Amino acid sequence: MTQALNIPSVDLADFLSGDENAKQAFVQALGEAYEKVGFVALKNHGFEKDQEERLYEIVKAFFELPSEVKLKYEIEGLAGQRGYTSFGKEHAKGRTEGDLKEFWHFGQEVTDGDPIKSEYPDNVHVAELPAFYEEGMRAYKTLESTGMQMLRAIALFLGLEENYFDAKVHNGNSILRPIHYGPILNEPASAVRAGEHEDINLITLLMGASADGLQILNKQGEWVSVTALPGQLVVNVGDMLQRLTNNRLKSTTHRVVNPPREQWHTSRYSIPFFLHPKSSMRLDCLPSCVNSAHPQAYAPISAGEYLNERLAEIGLKK
């Protein structure tokens, strides 16, 4: 049984207003939402409607290219870190059947001489669609900046310095992932386009998808359809942040379900931004989140080590 959920909504303009009371109210509302459901809808996030429309237009144009063209950009040995990944290559942790999606990865562009550049593969350019790279990286930078502000609010909620995350995510291993869930041509093996999972990263910023389908698992074990109002981003907690906070902030299980049979002929497009730190960031549980009632739940690990573990679990890395 599923039901619709209007997830808590917060306004980033309050955090950036210069009004200390409005800022603190934003921090509190955000933190409480992340403790209870792990998702918020974000208003005034800086990602303008016309930018979103241009991005979706060029993303659809890429996925409509012939398969043999797209496959030129599926690069062996990159573990899907950059460029194209074809249908069925990725699966949810604990599952073997591939998700019904193809996707593209845009990654970090290091321009300030930071030696971390050597850790990242170059982004892939599509000769047939030069604007794909331009629009993708414009969106990447906008969402990275918005994500940084969200992490500052999270830091304050956790009693940390406001800039606690800044250096850890500057030139971080973040990914912008345009996804295409194709039309359903035969009776599907399961009712989901993307199996239930939690995101790996610190936080995920998701602009409105082209169709419904996103559901989260609530504390009663029920699947709930997520709806955000037009013009809002959905921002959720990932496993790295859950781990850092010793389960204080919740990484919510979510999935993408198949549409009703009468809509099987339609595609679904989605463009999440997965905000990752640098690989060197420690994810060891914060001392302030560990006590007798909440003993340390996770062994110490770096973000890079954890990412490699998870990429292997979902089939992108051997």
Cβ pair 87, 102 in contact under 8 A: yes
pLDDT bracket for residue 226 (50, 70, 90): confident
Q: Can you tell me the mean pLDDT for 292-318?
A: 85
pLDDT digits (tens, 9 = 90+) for 258-288: 767 776 777 888 899 999 999 999 999 999 9
Query: Which of 60-64, 133-137, 292-296, 314-318 bottoms out in mean pLDDT, i.e. has the lowest?
Result: 314-318
Look at 2 and 300; give whichever has higher pLDDT.
300
Out of 61-65, 92-96, 196-200, the most confident range is 61-65
Look at 184 and 144; give whichever has higher pLDDT.
144
pLDDT bracket for residue 210 (50, 70, 90): very low
Residue 162 pLDDT: 98
Residue 1 pLDDT: 35
Which domains are present in the chain? 47-199+208-216+254-313 (2.60.120.330)
Asked if residue 3 has pLDDT above 50, the reply is no
Asked if residue 97 has pLDDT above 60, the reply is no
